[in-house]
Structure 1
Amino acid sequence: MKLKDFLAGILTGVAVGVVVKEAIDRTNPYISADSVLNNIKDEFKKEGPIDGSWIVMKTEPFENKMITMDVYRGGISRIHNGDLEQFEFAANAKTGTVVELTKL
């Protein structure tokens, strides 16, 4: 095998990889669930330590009056003034914005 052929194969593979990655990024407009959870945890950590957290990795439809969107559902728990506080949230899957927060 000639070096020229070998390098041409590598360059072709890299180009195909870049094209496939771009196509996948365009078809999935959602932020990753892990990223959404980390952002929400960062906001809660500003008020104190977090005891636990969870998020559902699959989106689900959410309707708030006239607005319909896909959301991730999750929860956060923390100890505040010696008491356990638990929250559940719904976050927009495209932007990561919390659209519902409920203290349990």
Structure 2
Amino acid sequence: MNWKQSALLVSAGALLGFTLKTSLTKLPIRPEHALKLAKARFKELGSVSGSWIYMKPETLTLHGLNYTVYRGGITRTINDTNTQYEFFVDADTGSIISTKETQAII
């Protein structure tokens, strides 16, 4: 193999590696990871007694901006009373975009 072929192979390999890295870094976070991040944030405020996350990303429009998000819920026990919260986690960054307290349906 001469130096031209070697240079061509090295260039092709570098281009392939760069392309793969770029495409893999644009993948959204997994819903399980989004739930783990949300639970950790809620645990800073007190104990968490239950949680769930919807596995399919949704589109949320907030303040005129569109986000791809995972929707989930957390149950916390505060003074022997269960309090439920709904949250939205950005599927690209893992940041909690919105939370709200919800009422239990019994």
Tell whether the structures are fold-level matches, with TM greater than 0.5: yes
1:48 Cα offset (Å): 2.0
Equivalent residues in 2 for 1:64-103 (5 A)?
64-103=62-101
1:39 Cα offset (Å): 1.0
Measured in 2, the distance between the counterparts of 1:42 and 1:65 equals: 26
Q: Unmatched 5+ residue regions in structure 1?
A: 1-18
Aligned residues: 84
Measured in 2, the distance between the counterparts of 1:41 and 1:65 equals: 25
- Out of 18, 27, 30, the position equivalent to 1:29 is 27
8 Å CA contact 2:47–2:76 kept in 1: the answer is yes
Matched to 2:47, the amino acid is: P
Q: Post-superposition, which runs of at least 4 consecutive aligned residues in structure 1 deviate over 4 A?
A: none
Measured in 1, the distance between the counterparts of 2:69 and 2:45 equals: 24
TM-score w.r.t. structure 1 length?
0.72
Measured in 2, the distance between the counterparts of 1:81 and 1:89 equals: 22
Q: Which residue of 1 aligns with 2:57?
A: 59
TM-score w.r.t. structure 2 length?
0.70
Measured in 2, the distance between the counterparts of 1:100 and 1:47 equals: 16
